[in-house]
Structure 1
Amino acid sequence: MQKILIVEDERDIADLVGFNLERAGYEVLKAHDGITGADIAIHERPDLVILDLMLPGKDGYGVFKELRRDSRSRDIPVIMLTARAQTEDRIQGLEAGADDYLTKPFSPKELMLRVQAVLKRADGPPGSVEVSYGPFRFDKNSLKFYLEGHPVELTSTEFKLLLFLTERAGKAQDRNDLLRTVWGYSDEVHSRTLDTHMKRLRQKLGEHAAMVETVRGIGYCVSSL
């Protein structure tokens, strides 16, 4: 049974989300402030965290940063669930590295679909355990990436984007295909944050950044060797 942590100070919302998760077969943990939420996430290591942003004690962004700093919680996927509904708020959440961002009021059915999509992505790509291509090496089990044999810290989103492109090297990949692969669907907000993820990814690739090409009018491509 997969375990999901809800960090939400409004108890009626936490109970509503928890009820739907339990009905879908998940084990549910709850925290009603940011400090407790971060502590439970780090020590219980749930399969997913549903995180409100406006929390007492420590806000959602503070919790998120703490989870990403700690090796025990670094790879736990996070869905931000918040009343901050402006487009720029959604972009900020996704660019911070959240796996998804859902605004209140929300449909419990939509939330369940997003939970399923994020957990499916977190299971890791199917196929062989390792993929090597030129200076790139991917370990799918640990979601670790190596550049010329040296480990490079990628977020899970960056890892999935680069792996998807590398496994299709030499062929331009449509933006919408990339968005559906990583986030499960495409929209304007995710399309904008895709470019930000690509920019950060190239920075981490250093002298090999040119291997990730922008294909005007289509999307992106890892160049042929």
Structure 2
Amino acid sequence: MREQLLQYIYPMKTKILLVEDDTDFGMILKQYLELEDFEVAWFQNPDDVVNILNSDFAFHIGILDIMLPNMDGFSLAKMILAEKADFPLIFLTAKNQKIDRLTGLKLGADDYISKPCDPEELVLRIRSILKRTLHTVQEVRIQIGEYHLEPKKLLLLHPKGNVRLTIREKDLLLYLLKHNQKTLKRDDILNTLWETNDYFTGRSLDVFISRLRKYFSNDPQIKIQSLRGIGFEIDFPKNS
């Protein structure tokens, strides 16, 4: 059940690191991926990627050309994987030599595609890799107004203080996020999360809702309102 809840939402758009020095091909690829609802950061110089490795490196998957200026894609991949060992990578190359393929696989590449590639095929490969690494993708921080949720660590973070959630609180919060800005019936929540619906579980739900309201009290934009005889109305700020 908890695993299913994590799969209900993506905390943000999937962020792709694209490193490709060919201006025309890079632009076409970036635009196509964005049409497929990915967020793409395109770099033509690998040195620029190295500069953000320890600070702003918040990507879910990387697509690296092998032939790059100043540094080849394999060397860049080694530097990325040294900082983020489980980071999924796809290599792009204009060549189709066996040595390149073997080198990439030994580095731990998740896939390998020759240029010019079919953008639709690339998208299918990206989505296939993300399915296999779904755990990692879903554990990216989820922004909720002024707060951040780290589901795996059961942490709700805020500048004025952090809260360690119980598993039930985390599951309930993820369910509310999935149904953001909707009216939720009490029966649906109880049957989904508690798998039963009686007086005692109903009272338990009220306690957990009260706790969540308290946890989010530092952000007046966040609303969890009770609707008598119906359930709750949820309003979390939508973050990009």
Q: TM-score under structure 2 normalisation?
A: 0.49
Shift of 1:41: 5.1
Partner of 1:33: 45
Quick one: which of 16, 32, 49 aligns to 1:4? Answer: 16
Cα displacement string for residues 49-87 of structure 1 (whole angstroms, at most 9, x for unaligned residues) = 1001111122111111101111xx322211001112113
Quick one: which of 102, 109, 117 aligns to 1:91? Answer: 102
Shift of 1:38: 3.0
Residue identity opposite 2:42 in structure 1: K
Quick one: which of 104, 124, 147 aligns to 2:115? Answer: 104
User: 2:59, 2:79 → 1: CA distance?
Assistant: 15
Residues 1:45 and 2:64 aligned together: no
Structure 2: state its 5+ residue gaps. 1-12, 137-151, 154-240
Residues 1:116 and 2:127 aligned together: yes
User: 1:105, 1:116 → 2: CA distance?
Assistant: 19
Mean CA deviation greater in 84-93 or 110-119: 84-93
CA RMSD of aligned residues (A): 1.9
Partner of 2:202: none
Please say which structure displays the higher CA radius of gyration.
2
Identity %: 38
Residues 1:57 and 2:58 aligned together: no
Residue identity opposite 2:82 in structure 1: R
Shift of 1:40: 3.8
Structure 2 counterpart SS, 1:9: coil
Partner of 1:17: 29
Q: TM-score under structure 1 normalisation?
A: 0.52
Structure 1 counterpart SS, 2:51: helix
Cα displacement string for residues 85-115 of structure 1 (whole angstroms, at most 9, x for unaligned residues) = 1133212211221111111111111111111
Residue identity opposite 2:98 in structure 1: T
Closer/same/farther in 2, CA of residues 13 and 32 from structure 1, 3 Å limit:
same
Structure 2 counterpart SS, 1:44: coil
Cα displacement string for residues 184-203 of structure 1 (whole angstroms, at most 9, x for unaligned residues) = xxxxxxxxxxxxxxxxxxxx
User: 2:64, 2:53 → 1: CA distance?
Assistant: 11
User: 2:73, 2:128 → 1: CA distance?
Assistant: 22
Partner of 1:80: 91
Shift of 1:118: 1.1
Residue identity opposite 1:5 in structure 2: L
User: 2:102, 2:126 → 1: CA distance?
Assistant: 19
